[in-house]
């Protein structure tokens, strides 16, 4: 149908209105578009900032990880280098630990046994403890020094060490150097510091015997080849017995005998020397009247309870009072001036009283473990010299420990001999720890050779 003019006008008017409405809306749409665009830019900026923050956090975390990894790498490299160096093996750690346990326990027991007597005599209950700590510190330094020194160097200085110990043994009789105590000349005084040369003589003999038995092992099978070591041992025993000190003389004799067995002497010679030594002991006892008194006191101490038998009786009282578990630390009664030399020669009696039979068994077990480790080091040594040297250190510790415990328990006649690492005496502690250091050197250098 054809539209009329009026309808056409109406359509045109509608179109005009639509155009006006579009024009009126268009700028609104433009404003909203630009506004959305700005909002999108703001959101993008915020997202970028968040991303930058996250990146920074990640970078920080990465840097922290790198630092931690560097530290871990540093520690791991040190640990691996220590493993490669292999400073101490399990046996060596056991030896060091056992020695430190013994000397630590020794300081405790020296204070317990001597606090009252030190306060009574010197007005200082820590008098003996301070001296013992000084000896322990010196001994620790000596032990680690010799542990890191090649023990083969000692071969060159064997005569120097032996001659020095012999000279010191002679100096005990020289006025101004020798110190007399209880009728015996056993100490040398240098600038206020007292030394006991007989303690040094034990290990100088071990060093000489280890050298001779390793270098001249073929001659050891003959009697003629045994004359030099027996002559050296006899010289040291003679210097010690005229101090007089029969206990140290017996210790030197036993050490020589057992080291000769380790060195490989024949059974015939071993039997001959054991018979000769057994015959010499009664002769030495008869040579001095006081030794005869001690022998009779050993056979029947209650015959002279206020004389020669007094010390042994008080020692047995202390051991009996301890029972199975002891009376407790610092609770000993015998240390109140009843037991002579409670802090030195008879300290094992105080240990038995305060810790009982159980404590004594544990202490003896520690000594057995230490001697076992030293013999193990000797058996694993790379040469004969190291083997005999380490075993010699173990023999000295074993012999002296057995003699001391035998005296305290009344198994042999009373004689003065300190308990290794425990009894009061700076020279004894320091020298024994130095000897252990030499054995550690044998072990360390044997491991280097093996691995």
Q: What is the dihedral of CA 69, 72, 73, 79, to 10 degrees?
A: -170
**Model pLDDT, residue 26:** 46
Query: Does residue 7 form part of some domain?
Result: no
Q: 257-279 pLDDT, tens per residue?
A: 999 999 888 888 888 888 888 88
User: 33: domain range?
Assistant: 19-85
pLDDT of residue 119: 92
Give the pLDDT confidence of 65-107 residue by residue, as tens digits: 766 665 555 556 555 544 444 567 788 999 999 999 999 999 9
Q: Are residues 81 and 114 in the same domain?
A: no
Residue 2 lies in a domain: no
For residue 4, the model assigns a pLDDT of 54
Residue range 421-436, pLDDT digits in tens: 999 988 899 999 999 9
pLDDT score recorded for residue 181: 73
In a domain, 3, yes or no: no
pLDDT computed for residue 82 by the predictor: 46
Q: Is the dihedral of CA 224, 229, 232, 237 positive or negative?
A: negative
**pLDDT average, residue stretch 46-64:** 76
Residue pair 339/318 in contact by the 8 Å Cβ criterion: yes
Assigned domain for 302 exists: yes
Based on the domain organization, do 258 and 229 belong to the same domain? yes
- Out of 58, 85, 112, a domain closes at 85
> Residue 76 has what pLDDT?
63
95-124 in b/e form (b: 16+ CB < 10 A) is bbebbeebbebbbbbbbbbbbebbeeeeee
In a domain, 127, yes or no: yes
User: 164 and 45 in one domain?
Assistant: no
Instruction: Report the predicted TM-score, pTM, of the whole model to 2 decimal places.
Output: 0.79
Picking from 85, 108, 130, the residue at the C-terminal end of a domain is: 85
Give the pLDDT band of residue 24 (cuts 50, 70, 90). Answer: very low
Q: 48 and 148: one domain?
A: no
Q: How far is CA 197 from CA 77, 252, 335, 409, in A?
A: 47, 13, 28, 27
Same domain for 74 and 100, yes or no, is no
Q: Which of 85, 101, 124 is the last residue of a domain?
A: 85
Based on the fold, state whether residues 81 and 105 are members of the same structural domain: no
* Average pLDDT of the residues in 178-195: 77
Question: In this structure, are 236 and 273 located in the same domain?
Answer: yes
| 203 and 323 housed in the same domain | yes
Q: Is residue 5 part of a domain?
A: no
């Amino acid at each position: 149908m054809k539209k009329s003019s009026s309808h056409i006008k109406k359509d045109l008017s509608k179109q005009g209105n639509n155009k006006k409405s579009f024009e009126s809306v268009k700028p609104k749409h433009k404003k909203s578009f630009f506004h959305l665009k700005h909002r999108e830019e703001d959101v993008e900026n915020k997202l970028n900032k968040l991303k930058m923050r996250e990146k920074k956090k990640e970078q920080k975390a990465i840097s922290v990880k790198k630092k931690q990894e560097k530290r871990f790498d540093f520690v791991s490299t040190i640990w691996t280098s220590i493993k490669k160096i292999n400073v101490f093996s399990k046996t060596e750690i056991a030896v060091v630990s056992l020695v430190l346990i013994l000397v630590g326990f020794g300081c405790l027991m020296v204070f317990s046994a001597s606090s009252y007597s030190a306060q009574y005599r010197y007005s200082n209950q820590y008098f003996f403890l301070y001296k013992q700590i000084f000896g322990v510190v010196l001994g620790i330094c000596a032990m680690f020094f010799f542990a890191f020194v090649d023990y083969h160097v000692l071969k060159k200085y064997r005569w120097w060490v032996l001659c020095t110990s012999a000279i010191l043994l002679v100096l005990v009789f020289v006025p101004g150097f020798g110190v007399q105590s209880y009728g015996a000349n056993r100490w040398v005084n240098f600038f206020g510091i007292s030394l006991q040369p007989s303690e040094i003589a034990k290990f100088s003999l071990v060093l000489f015997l280890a050298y001779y038995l390793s270098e001249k092992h073929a001659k050891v099978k003959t009697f003629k080849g045994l004359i030099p070591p027996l002559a050296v041992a006899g010289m040291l025993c003679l210097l010690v017995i005229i101090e007089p000190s029969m206990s140290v003389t017996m210790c030197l004799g036993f050490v020589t005998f057992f080291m000769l067995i380790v060195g490989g002497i024949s059974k015939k010679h071993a039997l001959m020397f054991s018979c000769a030594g057994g015959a010499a002991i009664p002769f030495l006892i008869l040579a001095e009247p006081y030794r005869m008194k001690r022998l009779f006191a050993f056979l029947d101490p209650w015959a002279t309870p206020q004389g020669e038998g007094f010390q042994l009786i008080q020692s047995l009282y202390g051991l009996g009072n301890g029972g199975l578990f002891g009376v407790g630390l610092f609770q000993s009664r015998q240390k109140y001036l009843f037991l002579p030399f409670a802090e030195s020669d008879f300290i094992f009696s105080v240990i038995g009283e305060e810790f009982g039979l159980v404590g004594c068994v544990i202490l003896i077990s520690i000594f057995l473990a230490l001697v076992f480790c030293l013999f193990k080091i000797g058996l694993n040594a790379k040469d004969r010299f190291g083997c005999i040297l380490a075993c010699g250190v173990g023999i000295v510790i074993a012999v002296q420990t057995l003699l001391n415990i035998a005296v305290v328990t009344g198994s042999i006649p009373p004689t003065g001999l300190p308990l290794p690492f425990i009894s009061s005496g700076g020279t004894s502690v320091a020298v024994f720890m130095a000897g252990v250091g030499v054995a550690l050197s044998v072990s360390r250098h044997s491991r280097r050779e093996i691995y």
